[in-house]
Structure 1
Amino acid sequence: MVPMLGPEEADAVAETVRSGWVADGPRVVAFEKAFAEEVGAAHAVAVSNCTTALHLSLYLLGVGPGAEVVVPSLSFIASANAIRHTGATPVFADVDPVTGNMDPARVAEAITPRTKAILLVHQGGQPADVEAMRAVAGDVPVVEDAACAAGSRLRGRPVGAGALLAAWSFHPRKVLTTGEGGMITTDDAEWAARLRRLRSHGMSVSAADRHAAEQGASKIVLEGYEETGFNYRMTDVQAAMGLVQVSRLAGIVRGRREMAARYHELLAPLGLRAVRDPSYGESNFQSFWVELPDSAPSLIDVLTDLAGAGVSARRGIMASHLEGAYAGHPHPPLPHTERLTSRSIILPLHHELTDDDQRTVVDALAKALRLDPGI
């Protein structure tokens, strides 16, 4: 993934530095407003990264020791780690083999009286069927891990529209980046206000608001700390970059979808299954993965051959339950998770990729799989 950054982002960051206000301030507020509008949410709360966004969202819901949260193992390990950070227990559920998103039927089997939330991941930008998940969740709140999903759409609306709580990432691998950074979106004004306090040590008045109130006034505003909070703030430097990136988002997603369509065209003669839009939504194709056939060499061999051909592919989405950090962690059978993580690879997809580059990637993949490209 090569982030789409240009002189506009550099100028915005330089202007912020020259302003002297580089901590969380007016640009963070502006970025929150712009992002909320982009994803169809009433409120957005900027934080330091998506892991802290997930942690704060679960903390807000009262998730803690003794609680369980259902989550896919097939996700970057931060999804499960955020649950552990609250003291709760991740309960892994298997995924749909086609979309790679958590299967509502498997989630229904995982819910117990200790289940305090469901963490639904829009994996690789592939929109998950939130309505189907809410139907099996009942009264259990559904938190959306939308780390990769900025610009994806679900039943004609942006992913995040109508979400109880959605957490977003702006890491450089995402389609919208601030270097590092994250966001929580919600339609609940009281939750948004509390999240803003929690991200800044529980401070009742932000530094920006305190400064604005004292400018040209004769009063001094003193903040209070009514609960223990965290230091999860975003900086104005990051937000300045984010404001430019939000303005680019539609074009970035349009370009990625065009490249995904080109991959589908080139891969068709090989008979390989690649990630596609689900029937109910449109992906931003943050990740474009291909499932390897059973007859193919090992994943490592394929990646090694691709690297030798100058193609920078990556293994498919990781399975957290197979990592050392979760050794011995109990889980049900996860056959689809284990197949996808062991038999899928992510192909290069970024704004600098040309049609010729994509043909080179597919030709190299065909050779690595011992297939006749036929194109």
Structure 2
Amino acid sequence: MRRFAPLSVTALLLSLAFLSLPATAAHAAAAPCKPGSGVKLRGKDLTSATLPPDLRCADLTGAKLDRVDLTGKDLTGAVLRKASLKEADLGQAHLDYADLRGADLTEADMGQMRAKRANLRGAVLVDAEAVQAEFPHSDLTGAVLTRAVLSQADLTDAQLVDADLKDATLGQIKGRKADFTRAKLGEAKLGQAHLEHAVLKDADLSEAEFTQAELDGADFHGANVDKASFIQADDVDLTGARGTPVNLPDDAVAPGTTAGDEPAGDRTTTWGQDLPGRPKGPSPALILVIVSGLGLSLTLILWGVAHRRKERFVAEMAVARHAAEEDVTRFGEEIDALDFEMKINQVSGPAFEWRAALDAYEAAKQALNVAQTPYDLRAAAAAVARGRQALHEVRSRLSATGGHH
């Protein structure tokens, strides 16, 4: 049997030193390169320029990228601090470990963008569309996301302390362990959101919608839940919250009560007590009535469970289909916009890629028509992703040829 030599003292000490690093240092060590060590474009106006092919770890501090097409671009580790990216197209772009502190992403398209462990402290994402975008372990402290659309986005363990998410769409987000302390979520839509063990301390949740949200272990201490709706939400515990929520499930813990309090629907009075002149114990007829009642109750409970499951499935499908339809519609608008641009400029794109984009659009519409479950809708999302990649190739070819036939 092969024997392995023991670790040297130096190697062991280095291993222990790395393990003792704070989390932020360990994250930096895991980054692909030193942020800002790539191409130097600090303060440049790139709205009409041809971008370099390699933007990994680029220094784009204060750069102007309004309406620039960055679809699928690799900006891993790039520094975009205080950069202007208004209405930029960042669909499927890679911004893992990127520095976007104070960046302006107003009305940017960030569909399926990847931004793991990115720094977006104080960034502006007003009216941005970030459907299925990924922000796990990212820092969005103080970010402004008013009316932003983040349906199905991944915010696992993200920091959103003091973030402004008023009227934002957060349906079906993955927000496990996310920190929304003091965040503004008034009128936000959080239907079917996964917020297990999320922190919502002192957050403004007035008139927010938590329909069918998963809230196991979520912390609402100090949060304003006035008029917030919790239709069919699971594991609702509003201990320490303030305000008057609506549509609370029967097993919810409302503000002003504690988790140990017995729900009002479960409280019963004592029966069968001995009374003077009355025989001890229930009669056989009463026992028969009770058994029959229990049988009927069990039948009704089983029927109710099945009915609620059906209602939940219908609601989930409606939310998922709506998100998918909006994504396909946006893709169709992107095709129309590029087609109009080519006609105005009297140019034509590469036939193969253009046909691939059109075919993908038709495939996405067909997938929507036949989808019966949320899982089936993945085919539509995959078709849109293929189509957007084809459109990106068309734009790249047109840029490379200078827009000539």
**TM-score (norm. length: structure 2):** 0.22
Structure with greater helix percent: 1
**TM-score (norm. length: structure 1):** 0.23
The structure showing larger relative contact order (alpha-carbon pairs under 8 Å, at least 6 residues apart) is 1
Give 1 or 2 for the bigger CA radius of gyration.
2
Structure with greater strand percent: 1
